[in-house]
Amino acid sequence: MSHSVIIAAPDQTTGYELRARVDELEDFSVVDVADSTTHLHDLVAQRDPEIVIVHEQLGPVPVLQTVRDVVARQPGTALVLLTEEFSPDVVSAAMDAGVRAVLEQPVTHEDLQGRLQAGAEWVASMRRHLSSESLDSSMSSRGRLVAVAGSKGGVGCTTIAVHLAHHAVTTVAGRSVCLVDLDLDNGDIGDFLGITHRLDVSDLAKVADDLSPQTLGSSVHRGPSGLGTVVAPTRIEDVGAVGERETVLILAALRRQFDLVVVDCGSTITPASASAVETADEVLLVTTPDLLALRGVHRLGERWNRVGSRNIEKVKTVINKVTRDSDIQPETAARLLPTAPIEVSLPDAAKVLQRGLNHQDPSEITAEAWWDRIGELATDVGTVPSATQEQRREPRWSLFRQRHGEPAAEQGQATLEFVGVLPIVFLIVAIIWQLGLWGVTATYTSHAADEAARSAGIGGTTAEVQDDALRSVPAWFRDNMNVSQTAADTVKVTSSMPILAPIFTVDGLDLTSETPIVEEED
């Protein structure tokens, strides 16, 4: 199996020399050569190589900063640093940045073979580990990242982002969810949820190169529902601290700590929001059925494409604030968009959402029709698994229906419904048992009559006829049976019909079998 390698060198001569060295090795092939840090980022995103060999003089961005960016975006890629000064300080700094191996120039064939082979083994182990850690695409330990953007201001981007995050944390028990406000200029998730926190996303950006779980924990606000929130900068002078590189590192760190990260990107393109859109597993673009918002979809898609964030064809568009009185209905809006929107559309529910906004708590919204739509949207964009959504919706048809926002009360739902079904199951079993018992009674009664007639036919006395009839059936059945001989030369056997058990009978509920006596000659 050939392992893919990308070489990043400051000039063509160095790049070609390294390529020739790698081509001499077995099981390794160079897929491309980059001559700048920008070119390297593009190639890594396109090729997803297993190994990247980076020369220390690569520019214009410092090489160790580039290494950190690549590691954050591609955790399953091994980076090898090529340096002319092999010292403990250089090796230590390179390892801290995420380099897997350091090679000194000029590199020998044996060193290159050994380092690349070790890197390939590490990549295989890491990629196998990353893939095996996820139960499904939405529940992996490397959390799912969903970016929500608006085609223009006022389309409901923040509302949908908040409600998707709230729905995810209250629907899946034990799931960790983080909501990040990257609408840096106009972010209002803090006001939306009533959050006053001394740290915001700009504080994380300032220490982006050294993000520890403790640092993240101090910057993430935990709400009563368990939802974690990172708010936007409160001071205008802190907005500039959150750039493209800082956003990539922050989101990568959050994905390691949370099962799901929902990002509100707002309606304007900034380096931070563009990075979130680029690195997201799924991008949801919110628009409304009016001409300005629909044109905004085209404009935003073109800008994302120009900055290299994402092609509009890989974006899911949802139409919000739909009413019957809208001049542009969803069917018409679909023809005005660059790509078809998803089937789920959200109604104009200002009155329904008003209570949640005024109380700064989404759980105050009790309209199940709204949460049904949010649930369908969540399934479509992958903030909750589809099976979980179906399980959540099923109890709504039961007698034990609970209001939305009370997940703890729903945990015993299946047990209660099972208990409610038990009487029906017992009734069906009892009916089947009773029919079987009556069938056995009819069989034994008929058999006893035949035995009694045979005994009478060979000249047996009345006592002998009764004894022969009784001996032909089990002992537990004899107490309910009466044997008699009529004047018409027939034997009559009467059995009391049992109710659920042979010891329980009802007067008047009897079964009679008569058999004629045929005398047998000697």
- The model's pLDDT over 476-496, given as tens digits with 9 standing for 90+, comes to 777 778 888 776 678 888 888
From start to end of 132-206, where are the E strands?
144-150, 177-181
Give Cα separations from 301 to 89, 170, 332, 448 (angstroms): 45, 32, 19, 90
Same domain, 122 and 249: no
> Can you give the CATH number for the domain in which 96 is found?
3.40.50.2300
Q: Is residue 409 part of a domain?
A: no
Same domain, 499 and 393: no
Q: Is residue 412 part of a domain?
A: no
> How confident is the model at residue 1, as a pLDDT?
60
Q: Is residue 139 part of a domain?
A: no
Report the predicted TM-score, pTM, of the whole model to 2 decimal places.
Answer: 0.54
Same domain, 174 and 29: no
- Asked whether the predicted pLDDT for residue 132 surpasses 60, the reply is no
Q: How confident is the model at residue 520 (pLDDT cuts 50, 70, 90)?
A: low
Same domain, 123 and 174: no
Same domain, 180 and 82: no
d(C-alpha 133, C-alpha 497), whole Å: 63
> How confident is the model at residue 131, as a pLDDT?
57
Q: Is residue 405 part of a domain?
A: no
What is the residue-averaged pLDDT of the chain? 84
> How confident is the model at residue 513, as a pLDDT?
84
Length of the chain: 522
Instruction: Please state the domain count of the chain.
Output: 3
| Domain around 348 | 144-398
Tell me which residue has tokens 């009016």.
290
> How confident is the model at residue 498, as a pLDDT?
83
| Percent of the chain topping pLDDT 70 | 89
Q: Which of 451, 339, 8, 389 is nearest to 167 (CA)?
A: 389
Q: Which of 139, 158, 166 is nearest to 226 (CA)?
A: 166
Rounded to an integer, what is the distance from CA 40 to the centroid of its chain? 33
d(C-alpha 120, C-alpha 76), whole Å: 10
Same domain, 156 and 110: no
Same domain, 337 and 282: yes
Q: Which two tokens stand for residue 163?
A: 């409600």
> How confident is the model at residue 510, as a pLDDT?
81
At residue 145, φ and ψ (nearest 5 deg) are -115, 120
What would the mean pLDDT of 386-390 be, rounded to a whole number?
A: 51
Query: Which of 370, 398, 426 is the last residue before a domain boundary?
Result: 398
Choose between 404 and 484: higher pLDDT.
484
> How confident is the model at residue 138, as a pLDDT?
38
> Can you give the CATH number for the domain in which 361 is found?
3.40.50.300
What would the mean pLDDT of 426-434 be, rounded to a whole number?
A: 89
Same domain, 382 and 247: yes
